[in-house]
Amino acid sequence: MHEGDFGVGRFYRAKPVNEGNESFPSAPAEHKPQAEHKPAECGPAGRDREASMTETNKKKIGKRELILLAAILAVAAALFAWNRFRHSEPAVLVEVTVNGKVVEMFDLNKDTDYIIESNERGIPGTNHLIIKDGEAWISEASCPDKVCVYQGKVSHEGEMIVCLPNLVIVRIMGEQTQ
């Protein structure tokens, strides 16, 4: 470090106390910061070296990203296969719950038209459940957002239709999940 050097990239030189009218050292009026530090090798050879280092780093990052992506895909595939295996038994029942209490059970293979009434929290609500051709769905609901209607048809064991405002859950079950 040189005398008067106060940090990286900046160089101030103090004036002696007896120079000029000032009684304390200060930076020169025309101070301009020095240029940023360049690598030791300048010119075409230095630029080529920097470019090759950058390409090498990009290749390593690319390999790491591919390995991470492959690991994520492997975990997702394993979870998907486990879920399919877990829900592999045939769906046979439709369970209707209101506020956590089972109010009705239906055979999924028998066509049914049922109005689910709920009066939980002092707010009356209705959901129109239709079971036809081995599928169940909510065709109408008194809730404001109609998410349960837009969920569509369910037919596989473990699938659910949920209406939060009316506290209704329609769940497809297999024989073993009773």
Interval 14-65: pLDDT, tens: 555 555 555 555 555 555 556 555 555 555 555 565 665 555 555 566 788 8
pTM of the full structure:
0.53
Cβ atoms within 10 Å of 133's Cβ, excluding its own: 9
Map residue 111 onto helix, strand or coil: coil
Residue type, 18: N
DSSP per-residue string spanning 47-76 = HHHHHHHHHHHHHHHHHHHHHHHHHHHHHH
Instruction: Indicate the range of 1-10, 93-102, 105-114, 123-132 predicted with least confidence.
Output: 1-10
Q: Is the pLDDT of residue 174 over 90?
A: no
The answer to whether residues 94 and 158 touch, using CB atoms and an 8 Å cutoff, is no
Question: Residue 165: which of 147, 152, 151, 140 has the closest Cα?
Answer: 147
Report helix, strand or coil for 64: helix
The span from the first CA to the last CA of the chain, in angstroms, equals 80
Q: Predicted confidence band at 6 (pLDDT cuts at 50, 70, 90)? A: low
Ordered by start, the domain boundaries in the chain are 41-86, 91-174
Nearest Cα residue to 132 out of 151, 98, 106 = 106
- How confident is the model at residue 149, as a pLDDT? 93
Q: How far apart are CA 159 and CA 108, in angstroms?
A: 13
**CATH class for the region spanning 91-174:** mainly beta
**pLDDT tens, residue by residue, 109-125:** 899 999 999 887 778 88
How do residues 108-164 score in pLDDT, each as one tens digit? Answer: 989 999 999 988 777 888 999 999 998 999 999 998 899 999 999 998 888 899 999
**The total number of residues written for the chain in this structure:** 178
